[in-house]
Amino acid sequence: MMRFLTAGESHGPQLTAIVEGMPAGFRIDPARINHELARRQKGYGRGGRMAIERDEVRITSGVRFGQSMGSPITMVVDNLDYKNWLKRMSIDPRDRNESRPVTRPRPGHADLAGVLKYNLDDIRDILERASARETTARVAIGALARQILDPFGIDVLGYVVSIGAIRAGTPDLPLSELRRITEESQVRVTDPQAERAIIEEIDACKKTGDTLGGVVEVTATGLPVGLGSHVQWDRKLDARLAFALLSLQASKGVEFGMGFGAAAVRGSQLHDEIGYDAAARQFTRLSNNSGGTEGGMSTGEPLRVRVAFKPLSTLMQPLRSVDIKTKAEAVGTIERSDVCAIPAAAVIAEAVVAYELANAFLEKFGGDSFTEISRNYQTYLEQVRAF
């Protein structure tokens, strides 16, 4: 099993991720990681920061000659904006006078609960780490996880299904086709009409100093049956995915397959009936309303999970608040931010799902090397086929 930690402030020198438990013998390509980091930076509705940053990974441990060695992998991404924040983000106490404290908490942000809990008088001490800039590290970790999934034909893709009240259709296409279409879209949707409406809505929100949330969907294909387990609460695949996805900044809800809609239909309309393909020697499903998990285990059907994100809490037309120092009525602080980060959220959710799947994969087929894991995987597939 892998585990990881991330560290770093939004305007500090760098973001760091340490991933422990990556087996040996997997190909690690920084270009692949940088490709995912670049995808995260895109999307209509982003703010000024993305014009400053050019997120690129530096691997400082765990990789030699393009391969993992089994030791912890450390990845670092520099914040290019740090040079503009040297005094304000300094570790030297003498620089405190150079920085005016942030004292007006933004409703919806970690600001108020954070300063009360940590007993701090400058909201910047909270907002810097609460920032979704941290998702840069998550995407780097997800890209690493994909290098475990790739050789076993497991593919993962995130895309946008709605922004604000505008819904975009998600046609039932192969992932490669969905990827081609959504990669070309400025807001990662499949539907050009919805794309135009979304861009107009983002423009309108920008004009009025407002922000937008939305829903992203992640699909994973090529999964074997039986990742995760029914036997214990913290081994259930869907539970682990939901935990990980709800740890993303601004996420408010997660659903699998038919999701909350399943509560409103009868059992006969929901459950995915079972068939058997004698030629392929495998069980089949006539539908996939479950979203690819039953009893906390993968069914072998595509995994389909959706995440709802609330609108960002930094409003250029700020909401009412109270100054934490004077207790006088005020409005929330204005920080440079995005109008809408949902296209980026699709890339981030995809990375988080890839990591959780890779971890469940290692748990099932675990070993210390690529060779050992491949052997375990092949033996299991033969066992399932011979069932």
Closest approach, Cβ 11 to ligand EPS, in A, equals: 6
Q: Is 211 in the site for ligand EPS (CB under 6 A)?
A: no
Q: How far is the CB of 194 from ligand EPS (least distance, A)?
A: 23
Buried b (16+ CB within 10 A) or exposed e, 174-207: ebeebeebbeebebbbbbeebbebbbebbeebbe
Residue 336 is a binding residue for ligand EPS (CB under 6 A): yes
Of 286, 319, 305, residue with least CA distance to 352: 305
Can you tell me the distance from the alpha carbon of 80 to that of 12, in angstroms, rounded to the nearest whole number?
Answer: 9
* DSSP structural state of residue 301: S
Contact 91, 99 (CB under 8 A): no
Of the candidates 342, 80, 70, 75, the residue with the CA atom closest to the CA atom of residue 195: 342
* 3, 5, 27, 48: residue in contact with ligand EPS (rule CB under 6 A): 48
Q: Which of 68, 103, 131, 333 binds ligand EPS (CB under 6 A)?
A: 131
Residues numbered 49 to 68 that lie near ligand EPS (CB under 6 A) are 49
Site for ligand EPS in 273-312 (CB under 6 A): 312
Binding string, residues 79-118; x marks residues near ligand EPS by CB under 6 A: ----------------------------------------
CA 324 to chain centre: 32
For ligand EPS, give the closer residue by CB, 81 or 363: 81
Give the nearer residue to ligand EPS in terms of CB position, either 8 or 62: 8
| Pairwise CA distance, residues 77 & 173, whole Å | 34
Q: From the list 155, 337, 347, 352, which residue makes contact with ligand EPS (rule: CB under 6 A)?
A: 337
**Using CB under 6 A, which of 132, 168, 202, 254 touches ligand EPS?**
132
DSSP letters, 10-54, are: TTSSEEEEEEE-PPBT-B--HHHHHHHHHHHH--TT--THHHH--
Among 251, 293, 314, 321, binds ligand EPS (CB under 6 A): 314
Stretch that binds ligand EPS, among 147-155, 192-200, 265-273, 335-343 (CB under 6 A): 335-343
H-helix or E-strand spanning residue 345: helix 342-365
Mark out the alpha helices in 215-297 (DSSP H runs).
Answer: 237-246, 267-270
Nearest to 297 by CA among 348, 199, 223: 223
> How many residues lie near ligand EPS (CB under 6 A)?
15
185 binds ligand EPS (CB under 6 A): no
Among all residues, whose Cβ is closest to ligand EPS? 49
Binding site for ligand EPS (CB under 6 A): 10, 47-49, 131-133, 135-136, 249, 312, 314, 336-338
